[in-house]
Chain A
Amino acid sequence: GESVGLHLPTLSVQEGDNSIINCAYSNSASDYFIWYKQESGKGPQFIIDIRSNMDKRQGQRVTVLLNKTVKHLSLQIAATQPGDSAVYFCAETPDNYGQNFVFGPGTRLSVLP
């Protein structure tokens, strides 16, 4: 069956360093991938997405990399700031309408001063 998981449940980084959060998925038919950020007491917020026909996509201070060969997704955050402290989820869906997202359990990112 489908599964999406994260390699590390927690990640601590120094302020100013780059952060890399990883995600593995098992459904080779997945077509869309999304990263969400969830701050304490809030709902998930969309960060960036990528389609399966791409291997890299950049946003503001964030980059998502997709390696379909090994079914691996990563989120890179440049110059990590205290405001980046949150739980980060990856999610994937095989369909164009996004009705059947599978979410990973999340990685907690802690930014150290």
Chain B
Amino acid sequence: NAGVTQTPKFQVLKTGQSMTLQCAQDMNHNSMYWYRQDPGMGLRLIYYSASEGTTDKGEVPNGYNVSRLNKREFSLRLESAAPSQTSVYFCASRSGDRVDGYTFGSGTRLTVV
């Protein structure tokens, strides 16, 4: 099925470890996004990529890096994981400039111990 695919679905890290969350979309969307979702809070934008080759910081970029590998793939990297980064991470993509065009992945649940 067409959509946004995130891997892995679950991950446990020790403090200080690094990892990369993968995201791929097959809808030929230009824009891609990384959000984190914490209990009792709304989704918060970490980074986004308006088009292939560009990335921009969102509301909570500290501790993260991103790579827009190509039009399909947008990865999120934690260089040195901290317990504060325990969260559910969602990748999304969007068609053109329509605000109703967001498609979200099913999320990655990350626990940092």
Contacts and interface: CB of A to CB of B under 8 A. Distances in A.
Contacts, number: 58
Contacts of B107: 41-43
Contacts of B35: 103
B100 A43 contact: no
Contacts of B98: 98
Interface string A83-113: 0000001010100111111111110000000
B12 interface: no
B104 A44 contact: yes
B1 to A, nearest CB: 13
A34 interface: yes
Interface residues of B, number: 24
B100 A49 contact: yes
B54 to A, nearest CB: 11
Contact of B90 (A44, A98, A106): A44
Interface residues of A, number: 25
Given A44-B90, A99-B50, A105 B40 contact: yes
B100 A34 contact: yes
A45 interface: yes
A27 to B, nearest CB: 14
Contact of A102 (B42, B90, B92): B42
Contacts of B31: 99
B21 interface: no
Interface of B: 4, 31, 35, 40-45, 48, 50, 56, 90, 92, 94, 97-100, 102, 104-107
